[in-house]
Amino acid sequence: MRARELIVYKEFEDGQLLEDMEWLMENYADEYYNKEDKAALFYDCIHELLDMAGHHGFYGNLWHCYLTNLLVNNENSYSMACEVKGEVAGTINKAVLHDIAIFKEFFDFDFRPVCEELSVDTFEFVENYESSSEKSKVYNARIRDRICELAVKFTEDSTPEEMKKSLTEFYKEYGVGKFGLHKSFRIEHTEDGARIVPIKNIAHVHLDDIIGYEIPKQKLVENTEAFVQGRKANNCLLFGDAGTGKSSSIKAIANEYYSQGLRIIEVYKHQFQDLNDVISQIKNRNYKFIIYMDDLSFEDFEIEYKYLKAVIEGGLEKKPDNVLIYATSNRRHLVREKFSDKEDRRDDLHSSDTVQEKLSLVYRFGVSIFFCAPSKKEFQQIVCSLAKRNHIDMPEEELLLEANKWELSHGGLSGRTAQQFIDHLLGKG
């Protein structure tokens, strides 16, 4: 086998299993090595494949799924050029074809002589594996299924050229690596800087799930569609009353436009110092990134907003065209203002400068969208719609009476309160 000859596809994150299997393929019949040691290594490899199946949710031929997973996660000059955009031109294609030919040898390898020589009769467990669970701890079901299907497609491709074409089509449709195979991310601060980590269990909310607020949702959709389509778009601030669907709208946007290359990175206030590092990691990718800041607000003594101001607009380095900032807040102006501020202005020689300093952050959001608390009638409409959607069979008069009682002691009129009331009814059975 020729894994050492790979020139584009190298440095796999889970590459140890590939090295062990390659060594067995080359040395299983070599009498220089102890047969029992070789068999033990083979059993270890089978264990790793079965463990991978439980973690990733893979099924079918697990060896082929493992190889496919290596290919779809390897971020290199070719795979990153093809993500979202598709096939590229140039000499890189010859180098990739060279590597794919090596991988085809791994796919086509017949393990029966290995099993006979080492007296191992359990490899069949990984050749036609039936998963005991439909869940994956790594991918959503759609991506997991697509990887398993691609593994089968690779075995059907008769030439490296066909196999390369199948892989390139995958890159175009789904992307590569963590940014290609996941919708949303969070930030971890490490000694080496900011690390972007996938969020593997994002809420499957859609815009239609948010009842009402058609005008705010339309404004958000228009700005986001312009962004993903490569047109000019603005940073966006969603502000208003608590529980009105601001955060849910952002999650819905992540689900709605994932297939068009949109990704969302959640950043908290204490992580603003890492923003430049985060942007440097994503600025040359072919995806569109929304940096999402939930429940954004600052007390008058907090200065983190100055980091954000510089990143959004004002620093020497221009914000990349593939990055926007979306934030939600209960405060229209983000930075807290007090009546005492007016008193302080008597002692401030340039009081207007102080005001502008506090307002300058919100001015950097080109689109501001207001989400107000629903009226009593609108709240009741939300309750009725949610009850119908969840198949709650209760007379409307009784339903609304109970809903009114609930909202009086659970936060007042809001979409969140309505959903909590419905969840309460569902929990009662």
Mean pLDDT, rounded, for 196-211 = 85
Which CATH number fits the domain that encloses residue 292? 3.40.50.300
Q: In what order do the strands lie in the sheet with 184-190?
A: 193-199, 184-190, 262-266, 288-293, 323-329, 236-240, 367-371
- Res 107: pLDDT: 96
Mean pLDDT, rounded, for 144-156 = 95
Beta strand 193-199 with 184-190 is: antiparallel
Question: 3-class secondary structure for 266-333?
Answer: ECCHHHHHHHHHHHHHHCCCCCEEEEEECCCCECCCCCHHHHHHHHHCCCCCCCCCCEEEEEEECCCC
For residues 163 and 315, which has the higher predicted lDDT (pLDDT)? 163
Mean pLDDT, rounded, for 150-172 = 96
Task: Assess whether 143 and 247 both reside in one domain.
Answer: no
Mean pLDDT, rounded, for 180-202 = 89
Task: Assess whether 394 and 356 both reside in one domain.
Answer: no
Mean pLDDT, rounded, for 9-28 = 93
Task: Assess whether 93 and 152 both reside in one domain.
Answer: yes
Task: Assess whether 385 and 409 both reside in one domain.
Answer: yes
Decide which of 349, 371, 393 is a domain's last residue.
371
Task: Assess whether 47 and 59 both reside in one domain.
Answer: yes
Beta strand 236-240 with 184-190 is: unpaired
Supply the pTM of this predicted model: 0.83
pLDDT-based confidence at residue 42 (cuts at 50, 70, 90): very high
Task: Assess whether 81 and 117 both reside in one domain.
Answer: yes
The domain in which residue 391 lies consists of: 376-428
The domain total for the chain is: 3
Task: Assess whether 145 and 194 both reside in one domain.
Answer: no
Task: Assess whether 300 and 159 both reside in one domain.
Answer: no
Decide which of 156, 181, 206 is a domain's last residue.
181
| Per-residue DSSP letter, 368 | E
For residues 350 and 219, which has the higher predicted lDDT (pLDDT)? 219
Task: Assess whether 164 and 188 both reside in one domain.
Answer: no
Query: Over the stretch 93-134, which tens digit does the pLDDT of each residue have?
Result: 999 999 999 999 999 999 999 999 999 999 999 999 998 766
Q: Which two tokens stand for residue 378?
A: 């609108």
- Res 135: pLDDT: 76
Task: Assess whether 348 and 275 both reside in one domain.
Answer: yes
Task: Assess whether 58 and 207 both reside in one domain.
Answer: no
**Taking phi first (over 0 means left), then psi (-120 to 50 degrees means alpha), and beta for anything else, what does residue 187 get?**
beta
Buried b / exposed e over 181-196, threshold 16 CB at 10 Å, is: bbbbbbbeeeeeebeb
**Residue 181 above 50 pLDDT?**
yes
Task: Assess whether 29 and 117 both reside in one domain.
Answer: yes
Mean pLDDT of the chain: 87
Q: Which two tokens stand for residue 36?
A: 């029992």
**Residue 9 above 90 pLDDT?**
yes
Decide which of 371, 386, 406 is a domain's last residue.
371
Percentage of the chain exceeding pLDDT 90: 56
